[in-house]
Structure 1
Amino acid sequence: MIRTPRRRREEPLDHAELARLLPAPGDPELSSDRLNGLEEHLMTEIRNLTSDTAPDASPHTASDTSPGASTGAPPVGAPARNRAPRPARRPGRRPVLVGVAAALVLAAAGIAGLAGSSGGSGGSGRAVAPPAGAVPAPVVQVVRGSTAGLAGAVAEISGAAARAELPEPGPGQFLYVRSEVSWLVSWEGADGKNRSYVDEIHPREVWMSPDGDKGWLMEPYKEAVDRDGITLDDPEGGVRTLNSPSYDYLRTLPTDPGLLLKKIYDETGGMGNGPDQQAFSTIGDLLREQVVPPKLAAGLYRAAARIPGVVLVDDSVDAAGRHGVAIARTDEADGARTEWIFDRETYTYLGERTVQTRDAEGIEAGTVRGRTAVTDRAVVDAVKQRPAGLGDAPPSA
């Protein structure tokens, strides 16, 4: 019988032999969708922590999901750049929560890495299927934007915003916003090629107290959010900024477009992909999932029109399939154009769309990276209470 010679005690095992001695790694304990959700949650916590610890600075994007960044919110489930988004802007969390999120993501990444080393196509370590719930991203013709007609459209939009009869919250009440959202999902196939997938369009509901200290988020489509929702409470009452606002904070902002734009540039200097893009993204974040006082909304639209690179797009479509005109700007860094969509007749805000204008980062031109549609804004008496006609949310556990 042939025996393997004994190694000297001080001689270390090489990696190949060590691998043979260990059991083969099993299937991942977390799905890729779950892993993506945890990663997005970590990035959201990091951005909010940055906002809480860096005075007068904007952490952002989403859009990116920010249906993310800003190409929107990312809301939960969206990659950092694609908003993800960018969910409701919630108060900064304590560092210990960020640590927990980081540990979960690192653990999940380790599990996925072990599974990839033994599975997949030819042992490549790449997923053979997109994340659960993802569908191919729609591709549209990129409509060229223009400054022609921009001033007139902005005048109509800001006028409609100033005349809007929005709900005014009273003591103990909550602002409620319901949206339909979808954001880009990062996925690399077994052949090493990137493919553009997006979340299926799904509902997202946010409740926030006027001071921003209490809130609730429901987005049960996302594994990172419990079916019953997650709290947005901030027991310590975080400092409010442009990137972590509350309704009460928004009421303190100037409504003059020039003063507004100066404040935005001053507070977000050095953030994002250049000052102009960050200013546009910041205004978009304020509009996406907030109830903005009418005069302030009018001022924000007029301020946005003064940002270099902002154009008017004749036709865009929100996540609910509604067509409208759009105020838009393209991020020079990656070619993603964020479009704020308004009804052609009433000029009310409908939602947001992000379209890739050129091939970049493995995403082809025309790919719709994210979509949102605001379907309800209201004032209710408690978290998880919906306006009349929508029914009540599930009771708290």
Structure 2
Amino acid sequence: MNDRHASPGRHDDRDEIARLLPVPAEWDLPREQHLRHKDLLMRHIDRDQAASATPESTPASTARPVRRARPLLRPALVASAAALALAVAGTTGAVLSGNGGRHDDAARHAAADTRPAAALLHRISNAAANHGTLTVRDDQFLYTREKVREADITTGKAVVSPLKDYESWMSQKPGPLHRLGVFRADGETLPINAELGDTEGTPAGLSRPTYTWLASLPTDPDKLLAYLYAKTPAAHGRERDQAVFEQIGTLLGGLMPPRTAAALYQAAAKIPGVDRSSRVRDAIGRPGLGIVRDDTRYGVRTEWVFDPKDYAYLGSRSYLTKDTSYGRAGTLLSSTAELAHAVVDKAGVRPAAEDRTGTA
């Protein structure tokens, strides 16, 4: 039984018990949480570990993966294990549900289409559909340059980093691959290895979205949304709608086929709880139109920022909406600003000219 079907009384009881639990004396994260490839905190730790080992002292086959930063802090990581266990009681069927659950989802998604956010997302979708389709070969790389700020919470308090330049070159081979590309930060170039746990290599998919794989996704918004609800990895204690919203967020900010981009935005419009905001800024302060969703369980707001003129994706921001043990309401968790995207022939080589539309 998942969160959508649980009675309000059970939620209240669990939340009250969780609030009464003492804050854990030290960090003791379950190992499976460390392996979640899209967790912003784990990427930060991986980068620190990779940076401390030189290429000569760390063989490529054994180096820890370095992952491109994404605006996805998992608040579940800083909750106590006991509170999480209580919060997810009765979630055995979180991913699969009966026909009644599907009918309930359809009704909720239909209602979501009437919200102001849906109108904005449909305009964004129409703009994305008018972009040109690229020809991307399997032997090429997708290049991304962005500015990023992110919070490190490993000490128990959120410590926000200064603004940093990140670049990545992602291989477009269908895979599975053990070497996914390269990543450059603070002047140092490091390998991006297969996701943790992928001993046979990481194939193209949600965790490695190649241009060709993105083109293979359903372009009907309802079918695409159903696919995302089925394939998005479940996380203990996290609302399913929020998980899918964040999964879509991981796909934004890169080059993708116009029809896929258009369908993704229309699919996002159907997720309950998605709203719009006119007071958002990316990591370098560019103002824009916002598509937002609040994770009310953990008190985190995630914002997608779009150019008010052409609806291009500018970046994202995530911050606390309530006081927690690791920060007060308003504390920044992550922010990004997309600067350039291109298709290049060689990893580690910048395109001759850069812009965020993908021409080079």
Q: Structure 2 CA distance, aligned partners of 1:180 and 1:348?
A: 16
Which one of 218, 230, 244 corresponds to residue 266 of structure 1?
230
SS in 1 for 2:252: helix
Per the alignment, residue 151 of structure 1 pairs with 118
Task: Find out whether 1:173 has 2:134 as its counterpart.
Answer: no
Q: Structure 2 CA distance, aligned partners of 1:171 and 1:265?
A: 28
What displacement does 1:171 show? 4.6
Which one of 323, 345, 350 corresponds to residue 381 of structure 1?
345
Per the alignment, residue 44 of structure 2 pairs with 76
Q: Structure 2 CA distance, aligned partners of 1:367 and 1:176?
A: 30
Q: Which runs of 4+ in 1 moved over 6 A?
A: 42-45
Q: Please give the residue correspondences for 1:1-397 in structure 2 after superposition, counting only pairs within 5 Å.
A: 46-48=35-37, 60-62=38-40, 65=41, 75-77=43-45, 97=62, 149-165=116-132, 167-186=134-153, 188=155, 195-211=157-173, 213=177, 214-221=179-186, 227-232=188-193, 236-268=200-232, 270-271=234-235, 273-288=238-253, 290-389=254-353
Give the TM-score normalised by the residue count of structure 2: 0.64
Bigger CA radius of gyration: 1
Change (3 A) 1:187 1:243: closer
What displacement does 1:165 show? 2.8
What displacement does 1:211 show? 2.5
Change (3 A) 1:76 1:318: same
What displacement does 1:208 show? 1.4
Q: Structure 2 CA distance, aligned partners of 1:294 and 1:44?
A: 34
Change (3 A) 1:230 1:44: farther
| Structure 1 residue identity aligned to 2:319 | V
SS in 2 for 1:360: coil
Q: Structure 2 CA distance, aligned partners of 1:185 and 1:233?
A: 23
Q: Is the 8 A contact 2:194 2:202 kept in 1?
A: no
Residues 25-67 of structure 1 deviation map (CA, whole Å, 9 limit, x = unaligned):
xxxxxxxxxxxxxx99x9897224xxxxxxxxxxx532xx5xx
Q: Is the 8 A contact 2:118 2:270 kept in 1?
A: no
Structure 2 stretches lacking a partner, 5+ long: 1-27, 48-60, 66-113, 355-360
Q: Is the 8 A contact 2:169 2:181 kept in 1?
A: yes
What displacement does 1:355 show? 1.7
| Structure 1 residue identity aligned to 2:137 | G
Q: Is the 8 A contact 1:216 1:233 kept in 2?
A: no
Q: Structure 2 CA distance, aligned partners of 1:389 and 1:243?
A: 28
| Structure 2 residue identity aligned to 1:316 | V
Change (3 A) 1:282 1:300: same
Q: Structure 1 CA distance, aligned partners of 2:210 and 2:182?
A: 15
Per the alignment, residue 92 of structure 1 pairs with none
Q: Structure 2 CA distance, aligned partners of 1:354 and 1:168?
A: 33
Give the TM-score normalised by the residue count of structure 1: 0.58
| Structure 1 residue identity aligned to 2:173 | D
| Structure 1 residue identity aligned to 2:36 | R
What is the percentage of aligned positions where both structures have the same residue? 34
| Structure 2 residue identity aligned to 1:313 | S
Q: Structure 2 CA distance, aligned partners of 1:153 and 1:231?
A: 35
| Structure 1 residue identity aligned to 2:275 | V
Change (3 A) 1:354 1:78: farther
Q: Superposition RMSD on alpha carbons, in Å? A: 3.2
Q: Is the 8 A contact 2:44 2:152 kept in 1?
A: no
What displacement does 1:370 show? 0.6
What displacement does 1:236 show? 5.0
Structure 1 stretches lacking a partner, 5+ long: 1-38, 49-59, 66-73, 80-95, 102-146, 189-193, 391-397
Q: Structure 2 CA distance, aligned partners of 1:244 and 1:218?
A: 14
